[in-house]
Amino acid sequence: MDTNHSDSATTPADMEQSRAWFAPMFADPGALPISFVLDGVPVRGIPASWHPTSRRRTIDANIVETLFEGTHAESNLQVRVEYSVYRDYPVVEWVAWLTNVGTQPTPMISDIQAMDAMFSGAAPVLHHGTGDPCTEASFTTHHTVLGPDDTLEFAPIGGRPCDGASPYYRVVFDGCGFSLAVGWPGQWASAFSGRADGVEIRAGQEKTNLRLLPGESIRTPRMTALSWNGDASRAVNLWRRWYRAHVLPRPRGRPLRPLLACLGTDEGVEFIGATEQNQLSFIEKAKRHGLDFDVWWIDAGWYPCYNAELERRDWHVTGTWGPDPDRFPNGMKSISDAAAKHGGELLLWFEPERVRAGTWIETEHPEWLLSIPDSDGLLNLGDPECRQWLTDHVCQLIEEHGFTIYRQDFNFIVALDAWRGNDADDRQGITENLHVQGYLQFWDDLLARNPGLWLDSCASGGRRNDLETMRRSVPLHYTDFGYGDLPIKLAFHRTMFEWIPYFKDCTVAWDIGGRTRFDHDVDRFAYHCGMAAMLMLTMDLRRDDYDFALAAELVAIWRKAAPFMLNGDFYAHTPDHRDPAQWAAWQFDCPDTGCGFLQAFRLPQAPQESIKVRPFAIDPVATYILTDPEASRTMHVAGAALIDDGFCFDLPERSAAIWFYAKQIGEHVNGV
């Protein structure tokens, strides 16, 4: 790659490539890239016999939407396709709705595909991932050549969209390609088939074989495609830029900024030992030690959660949503007020969809639960009455207790069994579809009714991070695996930086004395490996033996680096690996200012003492000021020298370094 300039901005060639692939599909209703089977007859697009119409409307300055609509007279099945084209990025999106506008059930509708299309191109390679199965293989990316008649099929496990398969892909041809996302917070399926002149793609809800009742609607996954010309780094950074501009939530209309989260718990698992008194004490202790947090984090266990025998608290006992009166007699308002006094927000954990027997929801409204043997109940968000109660109740809690970050977990590992186990033979897929609609509507209503609220998505880690969910939230706790396994952590981060640039990490290292996430010391290397867009100090504030001064020093470095990680272009300088005997290095660059940083990690078993990297996006006629804040070193380097000679990191065992750079032109040095 030519490193003399940033090439990550949208170009006319990118826009033309997008038009070449997608404009023909949406030029005529009959060509729309959707398909299904109606009463045994295959249907593609909206046939002319359905008397389709189309109308265009402007969503905002950058998005134009076309609505295609047609109705099958014999069955009264109406199909509506919402197609959006972005003017500022080479991105298109679409979602289809199927509605019974008659007075009788429809014939059987099956095999509904949100995407059923062919793409021409030479030498196709598919980039596909594992999602987060909560193993060492989480966030692994594979590159598979698609030869003629080769087919790759993908689907997640158990109904959570990122469990064992990623709904994010890159289809790479010779010199161009497109990124593709399947936006479905449930059980999707996709298939990529190589053809002599390109790739055929099918994607949709995995199982649909159903009748629609009068007035009933179902929807497909939302498909998103971003086209590009060039290489994979352009694909990565065009996606990052589009994501920041159009996907990343904007509470109160402002972009999310990097935030420091702190927490303090007490005895027991999660927050079953948290009380009003100790939370207020931990907040003050954090501030005394110079930890200027932006978020005070309270996770699972703050609600009444005694086990069935009333012997002990167990955070899994979900279904009674309100502060435990024994531990929080005044609710959470005093804690949110204390956080706000220091400029912070309160984050509060919920898991409304998983309901344990004996809790308030199960006792008062068992009809709202989807039940399967030997499992908790799944709250049926496809039931409008249930969803409305949950929305009203959570809104009341937000108003009463003053938290501004709603964290929703989803540890229901058998959601798919619950959905399918409650489907009739002629209604297969309906329960899941209505639940997904209700889940998204619940979040939309929370955001609409609570200005300034923002949402954190979790599902046993990162198992529900599809793009429809990400439009409304961020995945702060993006995995439950490998908190302090530093080579694994860096590999996970690399994948996250490429697709979902806002997430949190913990400052933990497990390679010293077998320590865990709750008994570690402040450690420079762990802080380097934990530098993500949002950083969480997993410091047990009951302890007084931490090096709090070192923590404050490292947080200050993170605060300088984090805006680059969130807002800059990302470049990897080492291969994707999980090997403790190698180095890892990457770069974040903000081309508008010519500023950024280079960071390298000599992993714990790496024998090489140094590594040389060739920075990207460097201006050969400029001079760069490079600064190492930990060693208080500064150097001036010509851009041409950085391009020709590279930059060398020489580090001791198990260490890392970060060098910030700023472009100097004449006497002027650009700021951060």
User: What is the model's pLDDT at position 4?
Assistant: 40
Q: In 3-state terms, what secondary structure has residue 603?
A: coil
Q: What pLDDT does 121 receive?
A: 95
Contacts of 2 (CB under 8 A, 6+ apart): none
Alpha helix (H) ranges present in 409-547?
A: 415-421, 430-449, 467-470, 486-499, 524-529
Distance CA 354, CA 453 (A): 23
The structure tokens listed for 10 are: 């949208």
The alpha helices in 214-367, defined as continuous H runs, are: 232-246, 276-288, 333-341, 360-364
Q: What is the pLDDT of residues 417-436, one digit of tens each?
A: 999 999 999 999 999 999 99
Coil, strand or helix at 177: strand
> Tens of pLDDT along 494-548?
999 999 999 999 888 888 877 766 677 888 999 999 988 888 777 678 788 889 9
At 27 the pLDDT is 97
Q: Nearest to residue 177, comparing CAs of 25, 22, 18?
A: 18
Residue ranges in the chain modelled with pLDDT below 50: 1-5, 672
| pLDDT tens readout for residues 91-137 | 999 999 999 999 999 999 999 999 999 999 999 999 999 999 999 99
pLDDT of residue 670: 65
For the chain, which domains are there?
Answer: 12-246 (2.70.98.60), 263-475 (3.20.20.70), 569-669 (2.60.40.1180)
pLDDT for the residue numbered 8: 81
Task: Please give the Cα distance from 327 to 306 (Å, whole number).
Answer: 12
Residue 518 pLDDT: 65
Q: Is-contact 29 70, C-beta < 8 A?
A: yes
